[in-house]
């Protein structure tokens, strides 16, 4: 809850964080970025897996889709495209 006191516009949240809890704690003023698993979903998953996780994250309150951490080397471009397409 102390994070609400810092004048950030957005905060990157890793995929292990429950989005509904994060949104409740952080409120509506702080935008949430991230939450897509960079390994299990983006690297190892299919485009369908990526779309499903991305849509779920958006419905749970993510404001900007992004990996929960950095993009792993060798992440398939088709999976990154699926994440971008889900945001539209």
DSSP 42-56: IITS-HHHHHHHHHH
Answer for the pair 33, 14: CB distance below 8 angstroms, yes or no: no
Look at the chain and report how many structural domains it folds into.
1
| Res 72 pLDDT > 90 | yes
Model pLDDT for residues 8-21, shown as the tens digit of each residue: 899 999 999 998 88
Range of the domain at 11: 2-87
pTM of the model as a whole:
0.87
Take residue 77 and report the two structure tokens written for it: 């471009």
Answer for the pair 56, 4: CB distance below 8 angstroms, yes or no: no
């Amino acid at each position: 809850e102390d994070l609400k006191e810092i004048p950030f516009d957005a905060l990157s949240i890793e995929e292990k964080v429950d989005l509904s809890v994060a949104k409740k704690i952080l409120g509506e003023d702080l935008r949430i970025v991230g939450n897509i698993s960079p390994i299990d979903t983006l690297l190892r998953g299919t485009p369908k897996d990526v779309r499903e996780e991305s849509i779920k994250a958006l419905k749970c309150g993510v404001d900007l889709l992004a990996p929960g951490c950095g993009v792993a080397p060798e992440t398939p471009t088709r999976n990154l495209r699926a994440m971008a397409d889900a945001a539209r």
